[in-house]
Amino acid sequence: MYEVEVKVQADHERVRDRLGELGAESIGTVTQVDTYFDAPHREFTETDEALRIRRESRDDETNARLTYKGPLVDAESKTREEVEAAVANGDDVRAILEALGFSPAATVRKERERFRYDEFTVTLDNIDGLNTFVEVETHADTEDAVEANREAAFELLERLNLDPDDQIRTSYLGLLLADGDGDTSQ
């Protein structure tokens, strides 16, 4: 499966108001703490891949997921192949990865407010150490479907009064590391 995502820096109040005008459904807020790992056998920064454990908290419940993200598949968006699995215990998965030689590289913390609009999830992100962003995301089952889904995501950005030309293709991890703020204490 491919995650088709476009991201821009934006003022959340304006976008939240516009989502209301469009009839988007609020699907709640979450806190996410993503711990990214370096591999012992290749440099993910060179291969444009990522491996992370995500701990997501909503209300009093926390769950964990292990995610692999492949390299970007196009030059126009943040679309990547993504493989993700729920895990019963994020700490145990971390211990397994570290026993295999993977090492924690950085941690990204974010507060996310999510909305559903048609086949899209629109997320208003506050990233510790960065700024506020809006992500428009959907999925494509095949690489052939990526372009049409990406164009539809751009159209939704425009309906939100945001400019697709302002898109940021760098991950939050990449932005934090570029600023020297990647928290490696986790």
Among candidate residues 2, 36, 68, 117, the one labeled active-site is 36
CA distance 115 to 105: 30
117 is catalytic: no
Tell me the β-bridge partners of 117.
120
Report the C-alpha gap between 120 and 12 in whole angstroms. 17
Residue 164: CB partners within 8 Å, gap ≥ 6? 6, 8, 154, 157, 158
SS3 of residue 69 by DSSP: strand
Contact 36, 105 (CB under 8 A): yes
Residues with a catalytic annotation lie at 36
